[in-house]
Amino acid sequence: MAYQQYMQKERHRPPTKGFKCREDIEKEDHLTSVIFKCNLPHQQQHVVEFNCREPSCGALEGEEEGAVLSEDDYAVDPNFFDEGYSMAGSTGFKVWTGSRLLIEALTWPQETDCDRLKEIQECVRNEDGTRIIELGAGVGVVGTYLSAVGSHVLLTDLTTLVENAIDTNLERNERILSNMSIDDDNDKSCPSWLVNGQRIGKGWASATPLDWTKPISEQLTDKQASIDFIIASDVVFLASMMKSLFDTVEALFQTSKGNKSSFVLSFQKRDAQDGTDSIAFTTVDGVLAAVRDRGWTIECLAWRTVAVKKEDETGSVKDDTSEVFVFEIKDASS
């Protein structure tokens, strides 16, 4: 269990005081949606919202109110036959555990945060707009949140997620945050590299499809592929996805060499019944080994223990705990 060496006591991050999430139910044209909401730092009156198809998994803590759907509220997946769509893609229509810790770690500073995490927090709030690309953005929670606090973010995922979740959620939050006060110095036009970008709070965001199995040169412009940070949250629960993800990250490292970019990844330990030797599911040790195989470096910026539901060998679901990590991965040659 090599991952345990990354669970340093000083990197443990307790829940952030003041950061609150909740879920509401929205019905329109006989369709039921879950609206995931969370407040912005130092802007308690401003909340970002995300239309999801299902309640979140592990993203709510304590007494935060979650949505409960009946069997009648669940609809047949309308994108089931879309080209390139898969079970992995379908999981993108809900919010997962890692998104919460990644948002908190990058945008809600705590006194005990390590120096490197504090540096990244400053970059995220940079009034000149740090350039970020999010891989596997799902409904767009992390990327939209980072743009709301000042970053310039390109959110990417499968075409189905971009067209049926991210685009509509960007429009929703552009409207919601339209009355948010913005410093005059930060009130600039949309960066040219964010094609058809939208003003989200203090920053800008846009979305585009990105297939990890295809060359990025065929999908992104040179400017879109030259960034400061790559981010991703809970995107490789299946072991089969890790190679294509890391191939894409490696390509972005190469196109962003002058920026000395890094990859910030949140990942929940989901070791199955066969433990760290799982073949089907990505384990923390599997991530660490894949990073080492590419000659990259990895540092744990923060981690937390969360409450989860786990199925035992009899099929019974029981309360349990797991760990969520925020790693920073770098190309050692850059």
Highest-confidence segment of 62-76, 146-160, 182-196, 232-246: 146-160
How does pLDDT run across 80-116, given as a tens digit for each residue? 556 665 655 668 899 999 999 999 999 999 999 999 9
Q: So what's the pLDDT on residue 217?
A: 96
CA angle 309, 93, 59 (to 5 degrees): 40
Closest CA to 103 of 150, 146, 73: 146
Statement: residue 122 has pLDDT above 60: yes
Residue 268's DSSP bridge partners are 324
Statement: residue 222 has pLDDT above 90: yes
Statement: residue 200 has pLDDT above 50: yes
Highest-confidence segment of 214-223, 237-246, 274-283, 310-319: 214-223
Q: Calculate what percentage of the chain has a pLDDT beyond 70.
A: 85
- Give the pLDDT mean for 204-229: 96
Distance of CA 275 to the CA centre of its chain: 25
How does pLDDT run across 266-315, given as a tens digit for each residue? 999 876 554 555 566 788 888 999 999 999 999 999 999 988 766 666 66
C-beta of residue 277 within 8 angstroms of C-beta of residue 291: no
Answer left, alpha or beta for residue 150, where phi above 0 means left and psi between -120 and 50 means alpha. left
Statement: residue 76 has pLDDT above 80: no
Dist CA 149 CA 129 (whole Å) = 10
How does pLDDT run across 124-155, given as a tens digit for each residue? 998 788 999 999 999 999 999 999 999 999 99
Picking from 45-59, 116-130, 150-164, 175-189, which range would have the lowest pLDDT averaged per residue?
A: 175-189
Query: pLDDT averaged over the chain?
Result: 88
Closest CA to 327 of 293, 304, 302: 302
Dist CA 306 CA 244 (whole Å) = 28
Residue 311's DSSP bridge partners are 317
Q: So what's the pLDDT on residue 277?
A: 57
Highest-confidence segment of 22-31, 34-43, 307-316: 34-43
Dist CA 40 CA 44 (whole Å) = 6
Q: How many helices (H) and strands (E) does the chain have?
A: 8, 11
Q: What is the DSSP letter of 10?
A: G
C-beta of residue 21 within 8 angstroms of C-beta of residue 59: yes
Statement: residue 49 has pLDDT above 80: yes
